[in-house]
Chain A
C-alpha cells in the first residue's frame, strides 16, 4: 500500500515544468523588487511631512527622485521641508518605513483578535547595524498566536513569548524582581484572595484582591507606590519565579480602611517565567505561592521608612 499510495499520489500531481519554474522565479524576483521599491517610495514620502512646523519625518539622500511636491502642501518640496528644520538625520534608516508599516499591520491584527490580552505590546527595535524590526511581546501562553504571527510576517517580526524568543525557544532577557523589605503598617491586616480558586494555566494571568482590614479605632490610609501586582514565588520563600508582563500606569490611588472596617485592593498576577534559565515561557505546572508586597511611603515619597502590605495565597499552575 505504501508504494502504491506514493505512486498514486505522484501520478495525481505532476511537478511544474522547467518553463513554469523559470517563470515563477522571475515572478518572485519581480514581486520582491516591486515591494522593495514601494517601501523605498513610502520612506521617501515620509521626508516631506511637516505638521504644524514640527518635523515628523526623516531626511533621505538616496533613492528615487523626490523633487516633486508631496505631502500636506502642494508647494512643499523636500528642500522646503528640510530647510530650517535644524538637525535632521542625513541618511534614511533602510527599513524604517517598512518596519512601521509592518507594525501598523500587526497592530491592526491585534485589534481584531478575539483575545487581545494575549498581546502585551508592539514596538520597533533598532539593531546594531541600524536595521529596524518590529517586536511583538506576547503573553507566555500565546504560543498559538505566536505561530500565526510568525506564519504571517516571518522574519519581519521578532516575537517574544513571555521572555522567550519564538520560534527559537531560547530564553531572552529575563530577570525576576526582588521583593522589598520593610515594616508592616501597624493595625492593618492583609489577606490575599485569588480568582478561579487560585488555579491558572501556565503562562496566563490571574486576578485577585488584597482585603485590607483595619483593627484600630482610627482610619488608615494606604497609598501604594508600585504596580498592583502579585509575584509567584516558591512556597514559603521570597524568591520570585513568575511575573506578569502586563504594563501598568503609575498607581495614584489611596485606599482608606475605616476604623474596624476593610477595603479591597485589586491585584494582577502573572505566571510568565522570569528566571533567566527558565526552560519554558510559562511556569512549569505545580504548586506555588503568590506574594503581594506593596509599599507605602505615605505623603512623603522621600521618607526613609518603608511600610509594607504583604499577603500570601497558594497558587496552582496547570
Chain B
C-alpha cells in the first residue's frame, strides 16, 4: 500500500473529523474511536479505497455512518434508562462547562442530519459540496439543513439568525 498517501489522508482528515464528530457524538473519545475505526477500514482496503475518485469522501461517509449508529445506540440507551427510571447518562452528556452547556445542548437537540451538517460545515470546514458527499445528500439539502439548524440554534440561544448559506 502507499503509506505516504494514507498518512497524508489521515493527517488531513483525522483532526477535522474528530472535531466535527465530537459535536455529533457529544464525546471526544467516542468521536476519536469512530474516526479511527473508519481509518482502520480504509487501511485494510486501501488498494480499493485509494482507487476511488476521492478517498476522503469514503472515509468521511464511513465515519459519519458509524457516528450515526453510535448516536442511535445512545438514544436507545437513554430511552431504556428513562423507562427504567434511572436517568443515569454518565458518559453520554456533553461536558458541563459554564457558558458552553447551552450551546452543547442546543446542538445535541438538532435532528441528526442537521447536526452532522453543522458539524462538518463549521468544524470540519468542509465546503457544501463535500458535506453533501459525506452525508450522501444533495448540496441543496445541506443548505436547507444549515438554514434550519441556524434558525433553531438562534431561537434556542436567543440570537438573531443570519447568514445566507
A residues sitting closer than 8 Å to B (CB atoms) are: 1-6, 8-16, 20-21, 24-25, 27-29, 31-32, 35-36, 147-148, 150-151, 154-156, 167
Contact = CB atoms under 8 A, between A and B. Distances in A.
Contacts, number: 104
Nearest to A31: B40
A24 B32 contact: yes
A13 B94 CA distance: 11
A197 to B, nearest CB: 34
Contacts of A167: 136
Chain B, interface size category, equals 35 or more
Interface of B: 7, 10-11, 14-16, 18-20, 22-23, 28, 32, 35-36, 39-45, 48-49, 58, 61-62, 65-66, 68-69, 100, 103-104, 107, 118-119, 122-123, 136, 150, 153-154, 159-165
A150 B136 CA distance: 12
Interface SS, A side: helix
A156 B45 contact: yes
30 contacts: A1-B150, A1-B160, A5-B154, A5-B159, A6-B122, A8-B103, A9-B107, A9-B119, A9-B123, A10-B122, A12-B23, A12-B103, A13-B23, A13-B28, A16-B14, A16-B19, A21-B11, A24-B10, A24-B32, A24-B35, A25-B7, A28-B10, A32-B40, A32-B43, A147-B136, A151-B69, A155-B45, A155-B48, A156-B45, A167-B136
Contacts of A15: 15-16, 18-19
A154 B45 contact: yes
A3 B161 CA distance: 11
A21 B32 CA distance: 10
B53 to A, nearest CB: 11
Given A28-B40, A154-B45, A154-B49, 4 more contacts: A1-B154, A16-B19, A28-B36, A151-B69
Nearest to B59: A154
Contacts of B122: 5-6, 9-10
A285 B107 CA distance: 38
Contacts of A29: 43
A9 B162 CA distance: 16
A16 B32 contact: yes
Contacts of A14: 19
A306 to B, nearest CB: 47
B40 A2 contact: no
Contact of A10 (B14, B39, B123): B123
Contacts of A11: 100
Residue among B18, B104, B154 facing the most chain A CB atoms (10 A cut-off):
B18
Contacts of A27: 36
Given A15-B15, A15-B16, A29-B43, A5 B150 contact: yes
A253 to B, nearest CB: 44
B66 A151 contact: yes
Contacts of B123: 9-10, 13
Contacts of B42: 154
